[in-house]
A and B are shown apart, each in its own frame.
Chain A
Amino acid sequence: MSADRGVVVVGASLAGLRGAEALRRGGYAGPLTLVGDEPYQPYDRPPLSKHVLAGELRPDATALPHLVDLDATWRLGQPAVGLDRAARMLRLADGSALPYEKLLIATGARARSWPVTEKTGPLPSGIHTLRSRDDAAALRAALAAGPKRVLIVGAGLIGCEAASCCRDLGLAVTLADPNPTPLARILGSRIGGVIVSCLDTAGVDFRPGTHVDAFEADAAGRVCRARLKQGAAIETDCVIVALGATRDTGWLAEAGLMADEGGLTCDVACRALDADGQPAPGIYAAGDVARTPNPLHVGRLAAFEHWGNAVAQAGHAARNMLAAEDDQQEYRHLPAFWSSQFGINIKGVGLADGADTVAVMQGSRASRRFLAVYGREGRTIAAISFDQARWLPAYAERIEAGVAFPPILGATDQSIKDFGVPDFPQPRSR
């Protein structure tokens, strides 16, 4: 690698930090620069929607530990705004340019914000999203002020975790989602239905099949009401918009790479692809931003939003960045995530969406302690556990091996009377 150019990492969060560390661990001793939009040293996001909202952890207390002495140049609070591949230059917001020999793109994702158009006018205040430390600090302050009713729009993982925290804080909560149950996109409504019973027990006002249309402000410009598509309205003085994330690829618009809000497309070796589908020399991607072919879903590209993937993929990309052209290894990763809400530890492995059948293998939905597996065309593709994580590795192994569905017959606490269609919503139109 040329001595003065070195490696530049764009995005100084989980994938960026762990990727940089893997480069050093792998023996890279040249110049290393980390460019980050946010003014902070890398920090961890999962606690933001859990301990931080609950007030158990300060928003600035989730810094990620450094596992290696990086000896890097940090350009924090300085977003990259463009990429000149021919000159191998990264352009930063302050007008400066950074030459690179190899580039690791780890710009992650940002929260999907509420659409603002000319017709809607500016958004009232009191409407939050939750992705960054600043978001969490603002939302925590709003919750601590004791709003009369929190409205959470979107019952995905973050929406549900936030609802759980708000109830723990004793706040009145309405959770609205267009689907029949929470977590419909991730787990399907058959399993998502278990969360409905949790919401019920916790006293959350859950509104399935609900489309929020617009927000109304009071005289002070603060949100006071959400209007629904169906005509009714919900009174609220604090809104959390939890509609998922879009990949942070806007800055790559002119770079001639295969990038859109669904991610930056890579090959199996984590190399970014150019508009012709060829690996762009020296450019790799990892973490939430990377969209790669997935062996579990042949012929489909997938970008994960999971902590474990960011760490593993960054390590893998770093390995390939240091390896020779003819020694680029394939990234094989079984996606896995966790969530904690309503006192339940949820863990999943594999890709459930796209499954045609789901079966409860151990425990029962009624007890809220169970392990369920998802199958597609007779193969096992995913498993999900509610407070039964100890068995997950056994299922993970079989998902990786692509065994027949259902796997592991004859387990303790197994009846397999509970199986059927997972009930995923129609794919989002893009």
Chain B
Amino acid sequence: MSHDTLFAEVTDPANRADPYPLYARLRETPVSRQGDGSYVVSTHAAIRGLIFDPRLSSEDLPPSQRPPTGNPFKDWIVNPIKNRVVNAHRPLIFRDPPDHDTLRAIVMEQFTIPRVRGVHREVEGIVEDLIDKLQGRDEICLVEDFSYPLPVMVICRLLGVPEEDEEQFQKWATVLATALEPDSRGDEEARHATATAFDAISDYMRGLIKEKRKNPADDMLSGLANPEPGKPAMGDFDLIASAILLLVAGHETTVNLITNGMLTLIRHPEELDRLRRDPERAPRLIEELLRYEPPVHFRTRKALGDIDIAGTTIPAGAPVILLFAAGNRDPARFADPDRFDPDREDNQHFGFGGGLHYCLGAPLARIETEIALNALVRRFVAPRLLQDPPPYRPGASLRGPEKLGIGLERIA
């Protein structure tokens, strides 16, 4: 079969459970033109070359048009203005330098390692509580019962969202999470739900920022809302966009990482055992997990100029799909790449992407996953998969199980 339809197969839900054989075929042509004019980049070397190429832009996504409501005043006046405001203040993962750099620097100033480490205790508490609630059950769904609620609770604590609003946040996060999924666009109903949730959470954030200006606390939102004099600051629209981004971008991704982690461990019982006996193994195991089953499989960029790479010229204007998960399994970079091996040395994976858009929540994701997996293997007695492979969510980029049924002897 010709290679120019391979990516369509990747996005086909039928291949969600095991896209890796497709990736291997894609790697035969490191930069491969697809029928729709996009270019899929799938080898480690080519991805590395491109993430450090200044001609790749992230500003290429179609503007978020609010679907018609039927109310002419809203449709002709309010929504277009809202759209314009929103599009001028896209979150930083959809921005290029220099704006991207300014925004990122301001967020990073608040997303500090001490602050992230500071939530360690809280994460432990949340994790134990979530597992305690499962006492007495012998079958659970890891996604619904554990991986899904955890990241939202954690980001809420970091941002400084009052605990009583966490439930509402869970609901918004569920709707908004799909907004980062490139192939989820188009569906009118989904767009409507996204726009509504987006407007609601924006209004909520606006209020919360006001509150944080009145009563600043030691949390990220207070820090962002009350910049030190003389330090760079962002306006309220960018602030709201950044806060929503932290919620959304850190949500589905962490859900996938934890769920894929448990799935992979149950599939490799000897590794599960070793982790249970030696929790210190978690950091290396998580790095290998980020390579082997990363939460984000690809991101799309746009070429601003003609780019010569790996024997191909990507023409200016073409969409470029950086297939990180394929680079992670490139035998030219990793020995025996399809083997899950936490003892692997020199594990330079793209599990958090790379280049200037490298995941800024990486330290938090690592901490959450470490605490979560250690607690799960410690407290789940004799876990087994109820269905293997599990059903997956439709997204090919933010790829992860929709449900992960686990049978247990008991909870310790």
Residues of B near any A CB (own CB < 8 A): 49, 52-57, 96-98, 101, 303-306, 316, 355-356
Instruction: With both chains docked as a complex, state the minimum distance between the C-beta of B269 and any C-beta of chain A, in angstroms.
Output: 40
List 15 other contacts, CB 8 Å, given A362-B97, A391-B52, A412-B96. A367-B98, A371-B54, A394-B49, A394-B52, A408-B54, A408-B55, A409-B305, A410-B305, A410-B306, A412-B54, A412-B56, A412-B304, A413-B54, A413-B97, A413-B98
When A410-B305, A411-B304, A412-B304 are in contact, do A390 and B98 touch as well, CB less than 8 Å?
no
Q: Which of A367, A369, A394 sits near B54, CB closer than 8 Å? A: A394
B54, B96, B97, B101 interface centre (most CB from chain A within 10 Å): B54
Q: Which of B52, B53, B98, B356 sits near A363, CB closer than 8 Å? A: B98
When A362-B54, A393-B52, A394-B53 are in contact, do A412 and B305 touch as well, CB less than 8 Å?
no
Instruction: With both chains docked as a complex, state the minimum distance between the C-beta of B117 and any C-beta of chain A, in angstroms.
Output: 24
Decide: B305 and A363 in contact? CB cutoff 8 A.
no
When A390-B355, A408-B305, A409-B305 are in contact, do A414 and B98 touch as well, CB less than 8 Å?
no
**Using a Cβ cutoff of 8 Å, how many contacts connect chains A and B?**
49
In the complex, what residues of A have CB within 8 A of residue B53's CB?
394, 408
Bound: A409/B305 CA distance, A: 6
Instruction: With both chains docked as a complex, state the minimum distance between the C-beta of A398 and any C-beta of chain B, in angstroms.
Output: 10
A371, A394, A408, A412 interface centre (most CB from chain B within 10 Å): A412
Q: What are 27 pairs between A and B in contact, CB < 8 Å? A: A361-B54, A362-B54, A362-B97, A369-B101, A371-B54, A390-B52, A390-B356, A394-B49, A394-B53, A394-B54, A408-B54, A408-B305, A409-B55, A409-B306, A410-B303, A410-B316, A411-B54, A411-B304, A411-B305, A412-B54, A412-B56, A412-B57, A412-B304, A413-B97, A413-B98, A414-B54, A414-B304
3 nearest A-B residue pairs (beta carbon): A410-B305, A411-B54, A412-B96
Q: Which of A363, A367, A391, A410 sits near B304, CB closer than 8 Å? A: A410
A390, A393, A410, A414 interface centre (most CB from chain B within 10 Å): A410
In the complex, what residues of B have CB within 8 A of residue A410's CB?
55, 303-306, 316
Instruction: With both chains docked as a complex, state the minimum distance between the C-beta of A347 and any C-beta of chain B, in angstroms.
Output: 14
Bound: A179/B306 CA distance, A: 40
Instruction: With both chains docked as a complex, state the minimum distance between the C-beta of B262 and any C-beta of chain A, in angstroms.
Output: 35
Instruction: With both chains docked as a complex, state the minimum distance between the C-beta of A187 and any C-beta of chain B, in angstroms.
Output: 20
Bound: A363/B54 CA distance, A: 11
Instruction: With both chains docked as a complex, state the minimum distance between the C-beta of A384 and any C-beta of chain B, in angstroms.
Output: 15
Decide: A391 and B54 in contact? CB cutoff 8 A.
yes
In the complex, what residues of A have CB within 8 A of residue B49's CB?
394
Bound: A369/B102 CA distance, A: 11
Instruction: With both chains docked as a complex, state the minimum distance between the C-beta of A403 and any C-beta of chain B, in angstroms.
Output: 10
Bound: A408/B304 CA distance, A: 10
362-386 of chain A: CB within 8 A of chain B:
362-363, 367, 369, 371
Bound: A157/B32 CA distance, A: 45
In the complex, what residues of A have CB within 8 A of residue B303's CB?
410
In the complex, what residues of B have CB within 8 A of residue A413's CB?
54, 96-98
49-98 of chain A: CB within 8 A of chain B:
none
Decide: A412 and B55 in contact? CB cutoff 8 A.
yes
Instruction: With both chains docked as a complex, state the minimum distance between the C-beta of B4 and any C-beta of chain A, in angstroms.
Output: 24
Bound: A412/B305 CA distance, A: 9
Q: Which residue of B lies closest to A395 (CB)?
A: B54
Decide: B55 and A411 in contact? CB cutoff 8 A.
yes
Instruction: With both chains docked as a complex, state the minimum distance between the C-beta of A270 and any C-beta of chain B, in angstroms.
Output: 29
B57, B97, B101 interface centre (most CB from chain A within 10 Å): B97
Bound: A390/B305 CA distance, A: 18
In the complex, what residues of A have CB within 8 A of residue B97's CB?
362-363, 412-413
